[in-house]
Each structure stands twice: as structure tokens, then as C-alpha cells.
Structure 1
Amino acid sequence: MNTPPLVSLIIITMNHEKFIEQACMSAISQTYPNYEIILLDNASKDKTFENAEGLLSQFGQRYQMIRNTESFGVAKNINIAVSKASGEFISLLSGDDWYTEDSLAEKVAYIQENPVDFILSDGYKYYQAEDKTTDAYTPKEKKQVIDSLSNFFHENVSENRTSNVGTFVKTELLVKYPFDESINTEDWDMNLRLTSKEYKIGFIDKKLFYYRILSTSLSRNWKLMKDSYEKVTHKYIDYIKADQELYKKYRLKLIHFKYEILLSETDSEAEKEKLRIEWKKEKYRVKYKNPVLFFKLLMLKK
């Protein structure tokens, strides 16, 4: 009987003292028979490292611990962990998220049965403050992702449409094409880089992860998101500008960041309302070329 391929389940964590047990237990509880756990602690100031090591040491699962003495960005941490991996495949997990127990088994089965190089999947979002769980995608969003797989780069180059928790990828690709350490949205950047080089992406239509959303999540920091968006899209700006629809989406996304930042910087409701009106006007100027249609729509939207 052939031995199933070794998978390196990489957990990147920092100050996740409250959540690391759930992440580690989801890693330990995988039904897949052949995997290692590599946990990298990014110089946590709490008991994340001690709690993780104490838990992982209680089980027979193969694991290794890495502890940074200084803090780095997520991309560099992943690159460090990948350099220690022995598996044929890598599955990435943040220390505040967690997997379903069949996550690795489903991914290995999918990549063995389909001509793809890396995989995303469906899952859940968990809102910590509200203690609320929702689907990671609406039915419409998920259909868009699945329908766009054969043209993934084009469909995602002006806007990230995927939830990238639990990315599963051939190790050789991450060795050949390390994560860009200058970018915060390193997962979107990696998706574009691999698909731009014609590596194939797959999507498992099963819920295999839980993505924890905190008030401190990057998705709530509009300035950082704008910076990352511009860094990623700058790599492909000629491609974006060459396509009228892509360029329109790109400009609308920059307008979105502009006004979200302005709104986050004021507490005045009157000022916020003024900004929302200006946002609407600027958005319509980009979306509609016909001035008559523009003003008719503007009046309808008020």
C-alpha cells in the first residue's frame, strides 16, 4: 500500500494566547494520516508559544516549534516556516483560525484527482466580538469564484475575490516563488503570481475552515489595505490599464479606499454624510460616461 504524501501544516501565530489552543487542536485532530505540524511564533509577548508547545507535546503527532526573537511580517514568517517543511504539500493556517477535521484529507484527495497546483476552499467566518458564524461566501460570491477558476488571474487582478484561509499548495512552488515580504495581502499577491505563471488553481466546494475576524484584523485597517492594494496592483498595472473594465474596477477600488479612510478619520455625522455624497458622485463619474444618465442615477440614489 502506497504511503499518502506528507503534508506540512504550517501555523503562523503572534499574541494568540486566547485562540492558539483551538488552532492547535484542529491541527492535531486531522483525519489525514501523514502530516507534520510546523508552528512559528512571531515573538509573542503573551503565553502563545508556551500554550501551543504544551498542547502539541501531549499528542503523538509530529511537530516542530519555531520562535522568532523579533517580529516579522506574515509573508516572511511563512517563508521561514516553508524553509523548515518536509512535506510535498503545504497547508497554511493562522493561529487565530481553525480547520475542520477533514480539511487536509479533502485537499489531498482533490489535488490528487485534479490537474491543479494549489487549492482554496469554502468555509466560515467567525466574528469574535459578536460570537457569530456566517458563511465565508454568499452563494453568488462562491459561484463567481468557481466560474472564474479558468480565468482566475484576470478576474482577481483588480480585486481579491477569494477567502484565502487554509491555502493548500505544492511545496516546490513556495520554494521557487517565495511570498513577497513587502506586502501585507501576501495571499492575494501569491494567488496572482502563480496564476500569472499559468499554474492552476482549484476550489473545493466544502467548508473546511473557520476564519476568525477580530476588531484588529487587517481588513479593518483601511490605510494598510490601500497600501497593500497599490503594491499588488502596481505589479500588473499595464495589464489592468489595457482593459477598460479592469481599469474601471481599479479606479473604483481606489475611490473606495479613499473614502473609507476619510470616514474612519472623522466622528462628525454631518461630515460623514457629506463624504458619502462626495463618494457617490466620484464613483458615478467613473462608472457612467453618459452625463445625462449619470445625473439621473445620482438623483435616484439620493
Structure 2
Amino acid sequence: MIRMIKVSILIVTYNQKDLLVECLESCLSQTYDNFEIVVADDGSTDGSHEMLIKYSNLYPGKFKFSLSKVNCGISKNSNAGLSLCSGNYVAIMGGDDLMHPDKIKKQVEFMEANPSCDVCYHDMDVFESSTNRSLYLYSDKNKSCSGDVRTVIRRGAINCASATMYRANKIPLSGFREDLPVGSDWMLTVDVLSKGGRLVYIPEVLGRYRRHSSNVSGQDSPIRVQGTKDLIRTCSLCLEEYPQYSKEAVLRLSMVLRESRHVNNKTFYLPRMLASFMSGGDLKSLVGILAFQLSRGRWTL
């Protein structure tokens, strides 16, 4: 019976008190009622901890908290919360995003009806925080992805964590890779699917992704630079740990490097692209180097 299936909603947050209230209310408004809310707070100083305690008192037994006293980073904070999850499924949420009322119900029904699916995600309504105005659908700017681990390595990160649900017994004990400080969700999906399952996209809007000043990163922002480093590191981990998918990992690495050509005032791209080619990258890597040099009016490295 579907209602016997327990879901852990894992919310990762840092200094988002006011937005977190909206997130929690959207979780508590689910039409599916067999769930726990696990909040991993990464050392907030805005009163989030006190607010969470009040929610816990209002809804006894519904909440679990990992309340860090210091800021330890996204991946380590996520693992602190993941260790508290006891559900059959784990739904990931950013502390500033929102769920539609039927989100958990529809994802559980889908996963139960498709036992080969170990990870699923859905479409999202991207909206402006200050006006609540819908800007576009996630699917308008991102091609959907369904497939096995080979497909996920070749395709890369979904970049829509708040839409994702994992089958809990397929998540490795190590959880998120903590050597990927801000971008470990892609590698987690690879690790989960390495056991043979599939990622499946549900073509329905079941949540809202909030755009605001804190999550719109410029090309040279530290989090953007670190995120790009994490993508490159993920490709390296795939090559090291899953050599049977080396073709897909090299292809994705070449694409990540080309997409990084504007990061950090263009100083990030060239040495990494050259290193990729010298270590076995494809011809497109070399073409990328030449095109980059031409665009700058330079021929020398």
C-alpha cells in the first residue's frame, strides 16, 4: 500500500529564515502524509535554529534537525542531514524552494510503479522571489534527461536538486562526496545509478525554483568557480572509479571545459582545456583551445 511508504524530505539551508518558512509550509501542505522533514542547517546566524524549534513543537514527531554551529559547506551539511533520514525515499529540497501539494504523492506513485527507477525528477516553475512572478519553466531552458548511468555521465548534472527523489536503499553509505564542496549531487546520482538503476524525468511541474540575489551567481563568483571545479573533479572521479564509462566521462569533461570559457575572467578555461587534451581529451578540446585563442586575438599559449 502506497501510504505505508515513508519519505524523508531533506532540506538543506543556510541563513534563509524567511524563505525557509515558505519552504516548510509547502512541505507541510503535501497531500501525501507519510513523511518526515529533515532540515540540515549549516550554521545559520539569522534565527533559523529558533524558528525550527518552534515548528518542531507545533508538529511533534514530524521534524528532525542537524543544526551545525559552524558553516561546513553544502556537501558536508547535506550528509549531516542525510544521516538522519529514515524514509524509503529521499526527496531533496533547497531551503528557498517550494513544493506543489501533490509532489511527494506523485513521485512516490511513480517510483513504486517503476521499480527500475532509482532516481526521478520533475519539471519546475522558475519564479522571481521579489515579485512571485513566474519567469519560465525549467524545461524551457534545459533538455530533459532519462537513462542509465552511462547517459547521466555523458549528459552531466541535472542542476535541479529540489526536483529530485532518490530510492534510499540505493544511496551509498558515504552519501554526498565531501571533496566536492558545492556540486556533489551529480556524483551522487552517478553512484546511485552505478548499481544498475535508471534516472527518469517526470514531465510535470511539481515545484517552484526561486531566483533571488543569493542564488544567481556571476561568472566570476567564488561559488561559480568552485562549482566548475566540482564538475571537472566529478569527471575525474568517473574516470578513476568507473573506467568502463571513460568515453562518456571524457566527452563530458570536454564539454565542461568549453562551457567554462567565461569563468573567472577567462583565466580558468585555457590551462584546464590544454591539460584535458594532453591527457587524452578529444579533438574538440584542441579545437576549443584554438577557438579560444582566436577569440582573444592571440595564437600563443
TM-score (norm 1): 0.76
- Counting aligned pairs with the same residue, the percent is 19
**RMSD, aligned α-carbons:** 3.4
Deviations 1:108-159 (A, max 9, x none): 10111012112111112223367542201128723xx2xxx23453354363
Name the amino acid aligned to 1:256: E
Mark the runs of 5 or more structure 2 residues left unpaired by the alignment. Answer: 269-283, 295-301
Matches within 5 A, 1:124-273: 124-128=125-129, 131-133=132-134, 134-138=136-140, 141-142=143-144, 145=145, 149-151=146-148, 153-154=150-151, 156-157=153-154, 159-183=156-180, 184-217=182-215, 219-220=217-218, 221=221, 222-237=224-239, 243=247, 247=250, 250-262=253-265
Aligned partner of residue 52 in structure 1, secondary structure: helix
Give the number of aligned pairs.
269
Partner residue, 1:98: 98
Runs (4+) of structure 1 exceeding 6 A deviation are none
Q: Assess, with a 3 A threshold, how the Cα gap between structure 1 residues 252 and 65 changes in structure 2: closer, same or farther.
A: closer
Change (3 A) 1:206 1:223: same
C-alpha displacement of 1:61? 6.5
Whole-angstrom CA distance in 2 between matches of 1:44 and 1:150? 37
Q: How far did 1:216 drift? A: 3.1
Contact 1:118–1:200, Cα closer than 8 Å, also in 2? yes
Specify the alignment match of 2:276 in structure 1: none
Q: Which has the larger radius of gyration?
A: 1
Residues 153 and 249 in structure 2, CA contact (< 8 A), matched pair in contact too: no
Alignment gaps of 5+ in structure 1: 266-282, 296-302
Q: What is the letter of the counterpart of residue 216 of structure 1?
A: S
Q: 1:155 to 1:241 in 2, by over 3 A?
A: closer
SS at match of 2:78: helix
